[in-house]
Structure 1
Amino acid sequence: MAFIFPGGILSQLYLGILFGAFCFQTMTVSGGPNPDSMLESGATVINHSMILVQRLEALLVQGNGSDVTLRVQTLHSDEVKVIAAHALVLSLQSEVFEGLLHSRNSSSLTLREPMDCAAVFDKFIRYLYCGEIAVQLEQAIPLHKLASKYRVTALQTGLSLYMTQHLASDSTNGHVVSWYHYAMQTGDVALRDSCLQFLSWNLSSVFHSGEWGSVSDDLLLSLLQRSDLILQSELELFEALEAWIGQNQPGGLTIENSLRAVRYAMISPQQLFRLQKQSPVLLKYHESVRDLLYMAFQFHSASPLQLAKYFDVNCSLFTPRNYLSAAWGSPWIINNPTRDDRSTSFQTQLGPSGHDASKKVTWNALFSPRWLPVSLRPVYTEHGAIQAARSDNGHPRIIVTPATSSADFAGVSFQKTVIVAARQQGKVVVRHVYNFHQSTEETGDFLAEADLQKRASEYLIDSSLYMHIVVKPIYHSLIKAKK
């Protein structure tokens, strides 16, 4: 497509746009200005790019030299937004605009957009002129839709990153669920997984927010199938599910599938008896889960080793999630975590089975801010001097071990989970989860990316490290179950 450049100041400005685009691309590829590629060695770069951006913004606002009028019509509405624009700028930034402008037969271009996109269209156009944009939570999806539709790749990427980094931000009705559903529609795998992980790690907070009711059937079942959910107890999950069913009134198949995803064996017999008599959902759909309830009562009444002779105890029904209640672990707040080693002790139930309810395991936890592997620890030389290891080689370490051993441990393995909380956008959320399967020597990545020396570290809250240690007893078959 051929462009006719107006004369005078505007012509110079268009040339400035081209030169500015070239400079931006050079800086992006090289990671910064490369004087040797454009200037003589030792030359000084005079950068007035901000002045150019300001003039471009003024050009958009004032409409000087405009050669195309954008008529943005809101779908199912008579509302029309008119924007005086410049074909060269639009074409440089979007190949879709380039094609639309090439095929137009008048000085105006009509664009039909849904209401949410039409409301932010002027903001989107300003980005094409200035290369920057101020985003609010509720604007992220419509702006991403526009960036996708007009193939403005840089803005697409920037908005996906924005959403990933603002999952913890406060909003009136919540936004993570809607972002998850949008990511599913667009195939944005990274955003989808980030949303799903955030919801899984902060599920108790989601239960008490306005967005729990907006969870779709598919998202609900995806969450219920996960073992890494962080919540108070399985009973809390059942009660939240019952509330979701009452609010959304889904089809019978969805209700049955969701009820069958509850791990009833992780609920005490006393609470199960109460649910069978008082839960309207369970009363109505009792036949759909009767076999699971029967298995749960058997699980609580018999020895796990005895049960394992006849049933597969490795299925999800008998696998705990990350429960925060006292029977499963303990919170641990460490003030000034870089100062020295710390230790604590706590008790958990031997296993989730009612048969083991009265059996307790005492655990010792040791936290070291600068643990060193054997190869890097200080050693004595033949002259008695110490070869000191570099202090910056150490990294945080946590070890969780039972205070005693017992014959009751037979047939039980213990998965330790350490949950680290942080404050993001003024809200306390789960920052990271570390899983240690049986052996605490597998903790090499614990806080590997955290700089605890910084008071403003994203892993600290008011200079303190907030953790919660969860011990999950997993039963395993010592002999093959009889069929």
Structure 2
Amino acid sequence: MTSPAACTNAGMLVLVLVLAVWLRLAAAGTLKAEQDGDADTISHGPALVQRLELLLLQGNGSDVTLRVETPSADEVKLIPAHSLVLALQSPVLEELLRRRNGSTLLLRESQDCAAVFEQFVRYLYCGEISLQLDEATPLNKLAVKYQVLTLQQGITLYMTQNLARDSRLGHVAGWYEYALQAGDDVLRDSCLQFLAWNLSSVLRSGEWPAVSGRLLMTLMTRSDLVLQSEAELFAALERWIVHNEPDGLTAENALRAVRYAMMPPRELFRLQTQSPVLARYRESVRDLLFLSYQFHSASPLQMAKYFDVNCSLFVPRNYLAPSWGSPWVISNPTRDDRSTSFQTQLGPSGHDASKRVTWNALFSPRWLPLSMRPMYSETGSMQPTRVDGGRPRVIVTPATSSADFAGVNFQKTVLVMAQQQGKLVVRNIYDFHQSSEESSDFLAQAELHRRTSEYLVDGSLILHVVVKPLYQTLVTAKN
């Protein structure tokens, strides 16, 4: 057994070596032009990192060997190291080193963690790390296990910033599952939001079949999913069920989360006659299909007297199909007000399918919030409300009013795109009834005046306006 005195002497040896390297660099170095009053700063940080890395690679002065084994012991790695460096960086390693027998420290790691353990140790010496997408999870596991907080935070930040990066089989769903298991709420919420807001691309990726049943249900119950249509979601769910062959309860719960009322009757007829999955589980969703056909055949006002039309079956998601809204590309969005017009159908009900509503949308780049506006000048004239220093604003209003609007509440949703990792993704979603001024943080962090803003693509701001008609329950029918 190694004596405490021997450990101390070895640790001091490493410390002396590090200090010697630093003093040699300082003697040969140049003065860095950073002044604070009369004080100058001499910095050789990068060179010192290189020497520490060389110390690790050559094992000079090593006083401990890390023996990294996988559970089956079919892979063993021996890494010469320095106990002082390890103990300074990790309280867990410090305790293990204190209690070790001999000059070897046995560490048992999973296969994926063992594969990146040398990168982990290098970080302990150099404070930097190079990694690929598939290495992020095992490195995060090691950072958590050995309580290296700075590495854990750095990898979590790396993961949240690389959600949009291309990978052959996808990685976001896997990161979500890991975050859920590790209790990393920040990473979990970031992954879930990315999956929900960019669901159309996820459904077409190789990642979709591997999504867990738990994540599937979490997504299916959300109203903020961004996708082409509810029919697209059903088709993807059908592929998932065929590929994974889940138990009956999981399949039934997932099928009951589909919002069939958001599909036109012709689509429902097609599913009932052509979908093998729906044929297998028809009894489980028969009541939902019946309600959906009633929804399409009756007047929404009449329907609202007898049914709760605010339940999820009758609530639209963020559909990108033309009948629900329109894309809007605003070039040079910091200069002048811009406007556009588009049409949507009055509502998702088949009763309203032939009725159209024309919408006018106005984008103003510098609109002063209501709380900050001066009321009137001394002459009594209204002061201008569009001024320098204001914030962007979008207003969406119907071009005309109609008696058909009775019982319908129109929620407007603006999807804001951004360019990440070379891909266009949904970065933010804002809901309002008439103006984005109802959302106090609308584009607050976009910095549209900066050419490097991630919200600008070739100098343009890319939006997609979605209009979601919500029917209101008017009268509760008596039994």
TM-score (normalised: structure 2):
0.92
Query: 1:13 and 2:17 equivalent?
Result: yes
Give me the identity figure in percent. 66
Deviation string, structure 1 residues 405-426 (Cα, Å, up to 9, x no partner): 1111111001100001111011
Equivalent residue letter for 1:13 = L
1:406 aligns with 2:376: no
SS in 2 for 1:200: helix
Q: 41, 48, 61: which is aligned to 1:45?
A: 41
Distance in 1, Cα, partners of 2:173 & 2:147 = 25
State the partner residue of 2:325. 329
> Matches of 2:397 and 2:439 in 1, distance apart?
13
2:348 maps to: 352
Select which of 71, 90, 95 maps to 1:94: 90
1:120 to 116, 123, 131: 116
Q: SS at 1:90's partner residue?
A: helix
* 1:276 aligns to 2:272 (yes or no): yes
Are the counterparts in 1 of residues 412 and 431 from structure 2 also a CA contact under 8 Å?
yes
User: Is residue 459 of structure 1 aligned with residue 455 of structure 2?
Assistant: yes
Query: In the TM superposition, what whole-angstrom CA distance separates every residue of 1:251-296 from its partner, at most 9, and x where no partner exists?
Result: 0000100000000000110110110010001111110000000000
Q: Is the 8 A contact 1:420 1:431 kept in 2?
A: yes
Which segment drifts farther, 1-10 or 178-187?
1-10
- The alpha carbon displacement at 1:438 in A equals 5.0
Aligned partner of 1:401: which letter?
T
Q: CA RMSD in A?
A: 2.5
Q: By how many angstroms is 1:16 displaced?
A: 7.4
5 Å-filtered alignment, 1:319-398, equals 319-373=315-369, 375-376=372-373, 391-398=387-394
Which residue of the other structure, out of 235, 248, 256, is the alignment partner of 2:231?
Answer: 235
Please list every run of 5 or more consecutive structure 1 residues that lacks an aligned counterpart in the other structure: 20-32, 36-40
User: Match of 2:30?
Assistant: none
- Do the aligned partners of 1:401 and 1:440 also contact (CA within 8 Å) in 2? no
Distance verdict in 2 for CA 1:403–1:156, change over 3 Å? same
Q: Which residue of 1 aligns with 2:80?
A: 84
Aligned counterparts of 2:95 and 2:355: Cα–Cα separation in 1: 73
Alpha-carbon distance in structure 2 between the residues aligned to 1:160 and 1:196: 14
Q: CA deviation at 1:14?
A: 4.5
Q: 1:396 to 1:272 in 2, by over 3 A?
A: same
* Offset from partner CA, 1:41-96 (integer Å, 9 cap, x none): 72222122323222211110110000001111233242211111001111111111
- The reply to whether residue 295 of structure 1 matches residue 291 of structure 2 is yes
- Judge which range, 242-251 or 151-160, deviates more: 151-160
Shift, 1:18, TM fit: 12
Inter-partner Cα distance in structure 2 for 1:332 and 1:298: 35
Kindly provide the amino acid, as one letter, of the partner of residue 63 in structure 2.
D
Q: Which residue of 1 aligns with 2:312?
A: 316
Amino acid at match of 2:17: L
Could you say what secondary structure the match of 1:331 adopts? strand
Pair 1:308–1:11, CA change in 2 (3 A):
closer
Aligned to 1:140: 136
Q: How many residues align?
A: 464
Does the C-alpha gap of structure 1 residues 273 and 399 become closer, same or farther in structure 2, counting only changes over 3 Å?
same
Could you say if the C-alpha distance between residues 43 and 9 of structure 1 is closer, same or farther in structure 2, counting changes exceeding 3 Å? farther
Aligned to 1:170: 166
For 1:265, which of 247, 261, 264 is the aligned residue?
Answer: 261
- Tell me, in whole angstroms, the C-alpha distance in 1 between the residues paired with 2:282 and 2:245: 17
Measured after TM superposition, the shift of residue 13 of structure 1 is 3.2
**CA displacement 1:321-343 (0-9 Å, x = unmatched):** 00000110001111111121110
Map Cα deviations across residues 440-481 of structure 1 (whole Å, 9 max, x no partner). 541432211111112221111111111100000000112224
Q: How has the CA–CA distance of structure 1 residues 106 and 6 changed in structure 2, closer, same or farther, with 3 Å as cutoff?
A: closer
CA distance in 2, matches of 1:105, 1:226: 54
- The answer to whether the aligner puts 1:419 opposite 2:423 as a matched pair is no
Whether the 8 Å CA contact 1:381–1:387 is kept in 2: the answer is no
CA distance in 2, matches of 1:193, 1:387: 43
Q: Which amino acid aligns with 1:292?
A: L
One of 176, 181, 185 as aligned partner of 1:189: 185
C-alpha spacing 1:362/1:115, structure 2 compared with 1 (3 Å): same
Question: Matches of 2:281 and 2:198 in 1, distance apart?
Answer: 28
Alignment partners' CA distance in 2, 1:319 and 1:439: 21
Distance of 2:47 and 2:429 partners within structure 1: 46
Alignment CA distance shift 1:202-1:269 (3 Å): same
**Cα distance change on mapping 1:118 and 1:440 into 2, 3 Å:** closer
Q: What is the DSSP-based 3-state SS (H/G/I as helix, E as strand, rest coil) of the residue aligned with 1:456?
A: coil
SS of 2:252's equivalent in the other structure is helix
Letter in 1 for 2:166: D
Tell which deviates more after alignment, 208-217 or 446-455: 446-455
Note closer, same or farther for the CA distance 1:463–1:278 as it changes in structure 2 (3 Å cut). Answer: same
CA separation of 1:465 and 1:280: change in aligned 2, threshold 3 A = same
What SS does the corresponding residue of 1:44 show, helix, strand or coil? Answer: strand
Task: Tell me the distance in 2 between the aligned counterparts of 1:259 and 1:267.
Answer: 14
**Could you tell me the TM-score, scaled by structure 1's length?**
0.91
- Secondary structure at the residue paired with 1:295? helix
Which consecutive residues of structure 2, in runs of 5 or more, have no partner in the other structure? 24-33
Please give the secondary structure, in 2, of the residue aligned with 1:144: helix
Cα distance in 2, alignment partners of residues 8 and 320 from structure 1: 67
Note closer, same or farther for the CA distance 1:456–1:377 as it changes in structure 2 (3 Å cut).
Answer: farther
Q: What letter is aligned with 1:282?
A: L
How far, CA to CA, are the matches of 2:377 and 2:239 in structure 1?
A: 65
